[in-house]
């Protein structure tokens, strides 16, 4: 039977007793052994009884499946990418989710089964979640944007009460350096783009470093990857899924991806989001200076992420457009255009 009655402190303490090292499972293709039979055996090992139904959900960094159970509602099971996180790091993600749920903030948290939220089987770490429905949020109305702002303000108010011990610190400057190294050392670029890419990417790195040094934003526990795809919207409002990238970072990182369009559109969107957000948490308007540098960072980081994961067969199948000469021409051009945007006056509300 599924059991959900476990306090987050107990879950964290129990999970902490598991190995604190990275997974011993080593593979060039990290999911090549994750067969349906293995997944069913993993589910059975924690006392659940699958009925054979399985549906792959949209996820690339991890593998996520909806799995049917006999005489119970289906569950969603996430198999973490082997070697990516320490067990302590994943446990801290789960504890944060449970802390938010305890504060009545609608986050989809892992289910505690036998007092444990993080399980291991055949070298894989995995967690079981309740199935939740919802749709991609449009955020077309000021009411929806204010509601989203209130939701994130409440989440950040909890996030600011303490810091993570094991989760990473959001550090775009370091991550840009790593992204550039991944692309240049991996021989991804056409010869005629190598110098141009290096010049533009390093210039972006300098601008990002300067922006963060000037603002010195306050840090707190954040979602870390709060784009609309990680928000499920229902008639009663939003709930957050996938805290896999939660980190210590600035509040603006959880807000900027929700606002898009022309300057006037973004101004209205930011005004509405902050109207809701500031009912529960303070927001330093100086962090608006970081929005366009963060957009440039994400462009660089995304390309490097695809390159790092290219040996995983799921990536060439899903991102067929990546890696060709036309892709790199467009990528370098868009980076250069974004560099110009960074130099434009900051959006004022």
- 235 and 184 assigned to the same domain: yes
Last-in-domain residue among 97, 130, 163:
130
Check 88, 144, 225, 254 and give the catalytic one: 225
Give domain status of residue 258, yes or no. yes
- 168 and 255 assigned to the same domain: yes
4 has a pLDDT exceeding 70: no
Domain that holds residue 235: 142-342
CA dist., res. 180 & res. 204, Å (int): 11
What are the C-alpha distances in Å from 343 to residues 56, 171, 180, 299, 346?
A: 43, 21, 21, 17, 8
Write down the residue that tokens 């300067």 correspond to: 210
Check 138, 171, 199, 242 and give the catalytic one: 242
- 94 and 151 assigned to the same domain: no
C-alpha atoms less than 13 angstroms from C-alpha of 257 in its C-beta half-sphere: 19
pLDDT digits (tens, 9 = 90+) for 126-153: 999 999 878 777 888 999 999 999 999 9
pLDDT digits (tens, 9 = 90+) for 182-208: 999 999 999 999 999 999 999 999 999
pLDDT band at residue 85 under the 50/70/90 scheme: very high
- 171 and 291 assigned to the same domain: yes
What are the C-alpha distances in Å from 183 to residues 20, 174, 193?
A: 31, 15, 11
CATH number at residue 207: 1.10.510.10
Least Cα distance to 123 among 211, 42, 51 occurs for 42
pLDDT band at residue 14 under the 50/70/90 scheme: very low
pLDDT digits (tens, 9 = 90+) for 219-272: 999 999 998 888 888 877 778 888 999 999 999 999 999 999 999 999 999 999
pLDDT at 240: 85
- 316 and 211 assigned to the same domain: yes
Last-in-domain residue among 85, 106, 130:
130
- 197 and 334 assigned to the same domain: yes
What's the pTM?
0.89
Give domain status of residue 218, yes or no. yes
Q: Structural domain tally of the chain?
A: 2
- 165 and 296 assigned to the same domain: yes
Give domain status of residue 227, yes or no. yes
Q: In sequence order, what DSSP letters do the residues of 190-210 get, joined into one string? A: -GGGHHHHHHHHHHHHHHHHH
Alpha helical stretches, state H, the chain = 8-16, 36-45, 87-102, 142-159, 172-185, 194-215, 263-277, 291-308, 314-318, 325-342
Is residue 225 annotated as part of the catalytic site, yes or no? yes
- 195 and 299 assigned to the same domain: yes
Give domain status of residue 348, yes or no. no
Is residue 144 annotated as part of the catalytic site, yes or no? no
CA dist., res. 93 & res. 244, Å (int): 7
Give domain status of residue 225, yes or no. yes
Do residues 277 and 255 make contact, with C-beta atoms less than 8 angstroms apart? yes
Give domain status of residue 259, yes or no. yes
Last-in-domain residue among 91, 106, 130:
130
CATH number at residue 49: 3.30.200.70
- 73 and 195 assigned to the same domain: no
pLDDT at 29: 67
Class of residue 235 by CB neighbours under 10 A (exposed 0-12, middle 13-18, buried 19+): exposed
- 173 and 120 assigned to the same domain: no
- 312 and 250 assigned to the same domain: yes
- 98 and 14 assigned to the same domain: yes
């Amino acid at each position: 039977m599924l059991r959900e009655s476990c306090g987050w402190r107990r879950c964290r303490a129990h999970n902490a007793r598991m190995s604190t090292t990275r997974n011993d499972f080593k593979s060039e293709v990290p999911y090549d052994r994750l067969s349906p039979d293995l997944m069913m055996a993993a589910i059975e090992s924690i006392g659940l009884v699958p009925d054979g139904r399985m549906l792959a959900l949209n996820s690339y960094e991890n593998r996520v499946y909806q799995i049917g159970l006999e005489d119970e509602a289906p569950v969603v099971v996430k198999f973490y990418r082997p070697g990516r996180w320490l067990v302590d790091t994943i446990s801290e993600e789960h504890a944060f989710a449970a802390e938010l749920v305890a504060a009545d903030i609608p986050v989809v948290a892992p289910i505690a089964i036998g007092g444990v939220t993080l399980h291991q089987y055949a070298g894989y770490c995995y967690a079981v979640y309740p199935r939740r429905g919802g749709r991609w949020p449009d955020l077309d109305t000021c009411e929806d944007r204010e509601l989203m702002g209130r939701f994130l303000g409440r989440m950040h108010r909890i996030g600011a009460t303490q810091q993570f011990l094991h989760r990473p610190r959001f550090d775009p400057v370091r991550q840009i350096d790593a992204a550039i190294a991944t692309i240049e050392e991996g021989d991804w670029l056409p010869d005629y783009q190598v110098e141009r890419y290096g010049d533009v990417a390093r210039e972006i790195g300098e601008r990002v470093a300067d922006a963060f040094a000037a603002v010195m934003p306050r840090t707190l526990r954040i979602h870390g990857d709060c784009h609309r795809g990680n928000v499920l919207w229902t008639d009663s409002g939003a709930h957050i899924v996938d805290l896999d990238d939660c980190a210590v970072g600035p509040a603006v990182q959880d807000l900027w991806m929700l606002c898009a369009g022309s300057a006037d559109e973004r101004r209205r969107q930011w005004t509405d989001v902050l109207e809701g957000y500031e009912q529960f948490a303070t927001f330093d308007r100086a962090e608006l200076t970081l929005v366009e540098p963060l957009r440039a960072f994400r462009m660089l980081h995304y390309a490097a992420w695809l390159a790092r994961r290219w040996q995983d067969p799921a990536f060439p199948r899903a991102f067929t457009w990546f890696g060709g000469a036309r892709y790199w021409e467009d990528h370098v051009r868009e980076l250069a255009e974004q560099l110009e945007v960074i130099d434009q006056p900051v959006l004022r509300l």
